[in-house]
Chains A and B, each alone.
Chain A
Amino acid sequence: MSILVLGVGNILLTDEGIGVRVVEALEQRYQIPEGVEVMDGGTAGMELLSSIASREHLILIDAVNTGAAPGTLVKLQDDEVPALFKNKISPHQLGISDLLGVLTVTGEMPKKMTLFGVVPFSLDTSTELSESMRQLLDALLEATVTELAAQGVVLEARVAEAS
């Protein structure tokens, strides 16, 4: 079994970094068993290709732009996660969706995908989450842990970690 829990986003832009903050919390609070990899993907693009390729299950946590109100939580599964590769004027706006577009071509799409997303409150320049977003971090963490449990991976809390 090979599951990747990938948090992406920019920790310098307030809530844009929520995905990274969730995987940081996941590693701090739980023991990560064999067969599961937890990764802080930051804002990387093609560098993540090998890490995502051919996974049994990709669990992705990211800020999302759905047009809905800030704080709205979204869960997308499999085909609902957009796999795009649009013609861009600045070709370095390569996101996860574009990587999935590439993996479609190479035949290495993860077998299953789950995206947990949240619409950001603030994208100001700061390394801290907004207060409102901080209150949603546990919900996203719980959703991730629950999703793993549904795949038969029950995480054990780290000892002496009073969260």
Chain B
Amino acid sequence: MAQRIVVDPVTRIEGHLRIDVEVENGKVSKAWSSGQMWRGIEQILQGRDPLDAWVFTQRICGVCTTVHALASVRSVENALNLEVPVNAQLIRNLIITAHGVHDHIVHFYHLSALDWVDIVSALDADPAKAAALAESLSSWEMNSVHEMRKVQEKLKGFVNSGQLGVFANGYWGHSAMKLPPEVNLIAAAHYLQALEIQREANKIVTILGGKTPHIQNLAVGGVTNSINMNSQSVLNMERLVYIKSLIDKLESFVKNAYLVDLAAVGAFYTDWAGYGKGVTDYLCVPDLPTDAKGTKFAMPGGYIRNGDLSTFKPITSFQDEFFKQGVAESSKHSWYTGETPLHPWDGETIPNYDDFNDEGQYSWIKSPTFQGRPAQVGPLANVLCMAAAGHESTKTHLNFLVDTLNTVNKMVGGKGGVGIEHLHSTLGRHAARAVRCAVMLDELNAQWQMLVNNIASGDTDTYNRPSFPKGEIRGVGFHEAPRGVLSHWCVIEDGKIKNYQAVVPSTWNAGPRNAKDEPGPYEASLLGNPVSNPESPLEVLRTVHSFDPCIACAIHMVDTENNEIVKVRAL
């Protein structure tokens, strides 16, 4: 008989993402993904000035402030057909890439690595062996015996004092943990180093964005940064050179530690290249525009069907009709009125709450489709599309990661043989995120150089003034955010917002069954997932975490009741 497991965060008021799975013979046979909080924040925007929308949208989410700000100004610019000066595009691109690098580092090391890395096991490692292994794989400067010993002492201190801090509540000693103590120690060392290095990425966002944690430099039509190479108070050469020094530090860590760690950890978990496949229609949008019209992009995007890279169809501009016409959202299984899938411009958000019904409505998240089918979004979609488009930097980092993973796998007695075709998996999503992070470092360098060159050519324009016509106009702003395709859809009438819908990346992935009752990407990816111990469903979390879920994170209350965040109920 099937056993039901509910993983449900119960604190912070309304709850967030809830995952239900039925387990038969140690494997997931059915899965439901449910968003447990209604937001409806778009309604706040109705009737407001489109020039202000981004200030509100950047408050939707605590992780994705920058990305919602950007998608919002792009949607209004799209409605107005407004060009954006090249300097403004490049400054935005630097913010986008720095934010993306920050986000990916934090996601891997601090929010999901401990699904795979056993911190307590690292105490048994031989620091000399750990250092020797790490140094054989990369030239990262912080892999020395001294460093490994220091980290191990630090971890011992936490464990002995009972003050595990961030390491409390891990799945230590779980039977699904497979890393030898030395690899656990290397990963733990990089976990701590990553806490330092992620701050450098955030500094870039702060310098260009003007303020932390919410950037202030955006405007519909460009950015408000003034460029003057000889002035102290604006964007000048000194600041640009400082930004370059931060890029260099990040590049060293991402290419010598993050990419290599993914390969070294992944080499012990190659079985996870066989789990978590799910939906293999992939959607991503092009990003990092390098011209004023938004027709040339440094990172390509498009659509792949059935995991077949030869079906790749590119999305080519901010005006792309294939994208604009392809998106619809169904609320058949969501707690809203209406069943027919609607285009976001015609989207409705009218709540109609009922209980959790397995066959009926069970989520506050709608179910988006592209060309009438569910689509997976995120770094994996991005990397597959960029590879299909022949993007050089993507291919280079992907090949490096796969080669390193196979090398380590053979070193420890495995057969190697992991290839690009294994990316359609839980492990593949983590690998793709590391590859994308390395690509973004290349782009940080490239965009920085373009900005310096463009300014040197005498161009200091950063802003085109918008003006709104009488009558109704419609726009979409899209952005390939760290979790995938983000699109903001606005309808503007006589210069005021009439309708506004944000279709966020986690909606694509965490959405419930659609109008045709097909499961969303989380749900599909969990089918066949192993669960060795229903009381401790680490394997379920591994697959869900591989998507980097970001649901209703906009609540920020301090909980003084110390409730468990994740309640696991085996029914």
Interface residues of A (CB under 8 A from B): 8-13, 16, 19, 39-51, 60, 62-67, 74, 76, 81-98, 101-102, 104-106, 115, 117, 120, 123, 125-127
Contacts and interface: CB of A to CB of B under 8 A. Distances in A.
Contacts of B61: 43, 92
Contacts of A39: 212
Contact of B564 (A60, A76, A86): A86
B541 interface: yes
A106 B192 contact: yes
Central interface residue in B166, B195, B541, B561, by most chain A CB within 10 Å: B166
Contacts of B350: none
B56 interface: yes
Interface stretch (B11-19, B301-309, B389-397, B460-468): B11-19
Contacts of A67: 561
Given A65-B559, A88-B566, A125 B544 contact: no
Interface string B538-569: 00010011001111111111111110111000
A92 B44 contact: no
A12 B195 contact: no
B557 A64 contact: yes
Contacts of B17: 89-90
6 contacts: A12-B44, A13-B555, A41-B213, A91-B548, A92-B548, A126-B44
Given A11-B59, A12-B56, A90 B550 contact: yes
Interface stretch (B104-112, B223-231, B271-279): B104-112
B206 to A, nearest CB: 8
A117 B158 CA distance: 30
Contact of B168 (A45, A86, A94): A86
A102 B114 CA distance: 14
Contacts of A94: 62-63, 111, 553
B565 A105 contact: no
A10 B111 CA distance: 22
A105 B165 contact: yes
Contact of A125 (B41, B205, B213, B555): B41
Given A12-B59, A12-B554, A82 B559 contact: yes
A106 B158 CA distance: 11
B170 interface: yes
Given A44-B214, A48-B212, 15 more contacts: A42-B556, A43-B59, A44-B62, A45-B553, A62-B556, A62-B557, A83-B165, A84-B562, A85-B165, A91-B548, A92-B548, A94-B553, A101-B165, A102-B166, A126-B44
Interface residues of B, number: 71
A39 B9 CA distance: 29
Central interface residue in A43, A74, A86, A106, by most chain B CB within 10 Å: A43
A125 B556 contact: no
A120 to B, nearest CB: 8
A44 B202 CA distance: 12
Contacts of A85: 165-169
Interface of B: 7-9, 11-14, 16-19, 39-41, 43-44, 56, 59-63, 65, 102, 106-107, 110-112, 114, 158, 163, 165-171, 192, 195-196, 198-199, 202-203, 205, 212-214, 541, 544-545, 548-562, 564-566
Contacts of A87: 114, 169-171, 541, 565-566
Central interface residue in B44, B60, B63, by most chain A CB within 10 Å: B63
Contacts of B12: 65, 93, 95
B107 A96 contact: no
Nearest to A19: B556
A43 to B, nearest CB: 3
Given A62-B558, A92-B111, A97-B558, A10 B59 contact: yes
Contacts of B558: 60, 62-65, 81-82, 95-97, 115, 117
> Closest 5 CB pairs between A and B?
A43-B62, A91-B111, A44-B213, A86-B565, A47-B213
A159 to B, nearest CB: 25
Contact of B65 (A42, A65, A83, A127): A42
Contacts of B107: 91
B556 A9 contact: yes
A41 B158 CA distance: 29
Contacts of A98: 166
Central interface residue in A48, A63, A105, A126, by most chain B CB within 10 Å: A105
Contact of A90 (B9, B60, B158, B203): B9
A149 B163 CA distance: 33
